[in-house]
Amino acid sequence: MIAVTNTFTNDGLEPVPVRVEADIQRGLPSFQVIGLPDAAVRECRERVRAALVNSGFEFPLRRVIVNLTPGDSRKCEPAIDLAIAAAVLAADGQIDTEQLQSVVLVGELALDGTVRRIRNAVGMTRHARDTGKRSIVLPEFNGSEAAMINEIRIWAIRHVSQLRDIKRCHEPTPPKFEENYAEQSDLADLRGNEPARRAIEVAAAGGHSMLMVGPPGSGKTMVARRITSILPPLTTREAVEVVGIRSASGLSFENTVSRVRPFRAPHHTVSAAGLIGSGTPTRPGEVTLAHHGVLYLDELVEFNRPSLEALRQPVAEHQVTVLRADRKVVFPANFQLLAGTSPCPCGHGPDSPHCRCSEASLLRFKDAVESVTDRLFDIRVTTELPSAKELAGEPGESSESVRKRVMAARGRQAYRYDYPRTNSEATAAEVFWFEATKDAGRLLEHHDRASGGRIMRLLKVARTIADLAGEDEIREQDMAEAIALTSPEALVTA
C-alpha cells in the first residue's frame, strides 16, 4: 500500500513543497529514503524508527521505501520527520489516511516521539494557505507564531502519538501585538551632543542612513540604540514579516509580538556571508534580520572591505541576492543603516592634544573611511565628549515627544508618494519635483563642491527637515541645515 503526505523544506525564506510517498513491500526488513535527501534527512530513518516504537506504534518489519518528490531538488530539513512518520504509519494501516488529505505536516522528531521546534513555521503556514491546503500540523512550540496567519486551520502537535487523531491536537491562539516602547532606552538619557540628537531625529523622520564620527565615549552607540524608540511602530503586515524572518532564522519567539522595529548590531568580525546570508539551506543574514528596522555598524573602519562592499546592493535596492551554483535566493533587506567611527586611528581626533597619529596615518584613515562611506550615508555628524556640566544637567526631550514629530513627518511623506515611503526612497524624478523657495535655491547653487549623487542626498535630507517643520516648501534654513548634515567634513582631515 502506498500512502502520501505533504510537507516542506526550506530554501531561504521561501518554503519548498515536498510530497512524501511511502510504500511497504514484502522482503527483508529495510528502511530507505530516496529523492536527494541530505545527511540530516537520511538520518531521519533512525529518528522515525525510534520515535514510533517508543510511542506505542509498530514499525513495519518489511521493506519500507520513502520517496521525496520532486526528486531533482535537495531536501535538507529534519522538519520532514513528522510527514515521513505519518506516511509510514498510513501505508501500514496504523492511522487513517483520510485525515492526511489536504493537510501539511512539519516537525522534527526526538527519539521518544516528542515533536521539536522547526524553522520558518510562519512561512510554511502562509505557503500552505496560499496553495489551498485546509490545515497544517506543526510543533506546539511553533503554534503561536504560525497562528498569525489567517484562513488556515492550525493543529499544534506535542507528540507523534497524536497522529492517531490529528483533530484532537491543540489549536493555538494568535499572539498579542504590543507597542512596548516603555522597555526601550529613552532619548532623554542623552545629555549634551545636541547636533547628534537633531541628526538622529532627521534620520528617523526620513529613513536616512547616518554616520557618526567621534572619540570613544562620545555617545555614538548610545544615540544609535535609541533610534528605535523614536521610529514609528511596525504595522501588522510589517510585524508578521519580521516574525517570519526570525522564524526562518531559527530565533526564539515569545507569545507577544513587539511593534518596536528591530535593531541589529553585528560585531566588526562578521563576514560578508554573515551580513547577506549563507549556508545550506540558505539562511538570512544580518541585513535581512534588520528588515523594517535598523542595522548599526560600530567602529566602521574595523569591518573588512568585502563586508562593507556587500552592503551596497541592499542599501540601494532594499533586497539582497545570494547566488549559489544551482539556485538564486532573494532576501528582503529594507533597513536603515547607522554607523559609528573614531575620527582618527588613535581615537582622540587630530584636533586633540592627545592625538598620536602621524599625518600619513591620518590621510590613510581618511581615505579608508571615505572609500566606504561616500555612497552609503546620507547624514554625517560629529559627536563630542559631553562635559561634566552637561552630564549633570536636566534630561533632554523624551523619545515619546520626538516620535510624534517623526510620525507626523512620515505621514506627510506617505501622502506625497501615495504610499508609505520615506524621502530616502524617493526616485530621481520625485526629487526634481520637490518645491523650494528662491533663497533655498540660491543657497544650493552656491554649494558647488558636491557631486550629483550628493546633491540628490542633500535635497532628500532638506525635504525631510521641511517635513519635520510642517512646511510645503524647502526653506533657506532647511537647506542650510541639510548642507551641514550632509557635509563630508565630519570626517577626519589631516
The residue segments making up the domain with residue 146 are 2-168
Mean pLDDT, to the nearest integer, of 353-369?
A: 80
pLDDT at 489: 59
| Cell output for 315 | 542599501
What are the tens digits of pLDDT across the range 68-97?
999 888 888 889 999 999 999 999 999 998
Q: Is the pLDDT of residue 24 over 80?
A: yes
Q: Which residues pair with 277 in a beta bridge?
A: 284
SS (H, E, C) 43-105: CHHHHHHHHHHCCCCCCCCCEEEEEEECCCCCECCHHHHHHHHHHHHHHCCCCCCHHHCCEEE
150/245 same-domain check: no
Residue 375 has pLDDT above 80, yes or no: no
Question: Over 50: is that where the pLDDT of 446 sits?
Answer: yes
**DSSP label at residue 23:** E
Question: Within this chain, do residues 292 and 441 fall inside the same structural domain, yes or no?
Answer: yes
Q: What is the pLDDT of residue 493?
A: 40
CA–CA gap between residue 144 and residue 138 (Å, rounded): 11
What is the average pLDDT across 172-195?
Answer: 88
230 and 114 share one domain = no
Give the pLDDT score at 322: 86
- Segment 119-134 shows an average pLDDT of 93
Residues 388-416: tens digit of each pLDDT: 888 887 888 999 999 999 999 999 999 99
Query: 148 and 220 share a domain?
Result: no
Query: Within a domain: residue 363?
Result: yes
Evaluate whether residue 112 is within a structural domain. yes
Same domain, 190 and 159: no
Same domain, 264 and 122: no
Is 263 in the same domain as 325?
yes
Mean pLDDT of 190-208: 93
**Inside any domain, residue 374:** yes
Instruction: Compute the 3-state secondary structure of the chain and give helix, strand, coil in percent, each to the nearest 5.
Output: 40, 20, 40
Rounded average pLDDT over 409-424: 92
127: alpha, beta or left? (left if phi > 0; alpha if psi -120 to 50): alpha
Does the structure show a pLDDT above 70 at 448? no
Give the pLDDT of residue 342.
87
- Number of domains composing the chain: 2
Domain end marker among 146, 168, 190 = 168
Whether residue 113 is found in the same domain as residue 201? no
In a domain, 173, yes or no: no
Q: At which of 137, 168, 199 does a domain end?
A: 168
- In 3D space, the residue among 30, 164, 157 whose CA is nearest the CA of residue 90 turns out to be 164
> Which of 62-66, 174-178, 321-325, 432-436 shows the lowest per-residue confidence on average (mean pLDDT)?
321-325
Domain identity same for 217 and 242: yes
Q: Is 285 helix (H, G, I), strand (E, B) or coil?
A: coil
CATH number at residue 60: 3.30.230.10
Q: Of 125, 142, 168, which marks where a domain is finished?
A: 168
Position 176 in a domain? no
Q: Are 311 and 459 found together in one domain? A: yes
pLDDT tens sequence across 462-483:
999 999 999 999 999 999 999 9
How much is the pLDDT for 5?
96
Do 456 and 371 lie in a common domain? yes
Cα–Cα distance between 251 and 71 in angstroms, integer? 30
Q: Is 386 inside any structural domain?
A: yes
In a domain, 27, yes or no: yes
CB atoms within 10 A of CB 177: 17
The bridge status of strand 319-323 relative to strand 328-332 is: antiparallel
| 139 and 275 together in one domain | no
Angle at the Cα of 427 from the Cα atoms of 426 and 428, rounded to 5 degrees: 125
For the chain, the residue count is 494
CATH of the domain at 276: 3.40.50.300
Give the angle 20-326-305 at the CA atoms, nearest 5°. 130
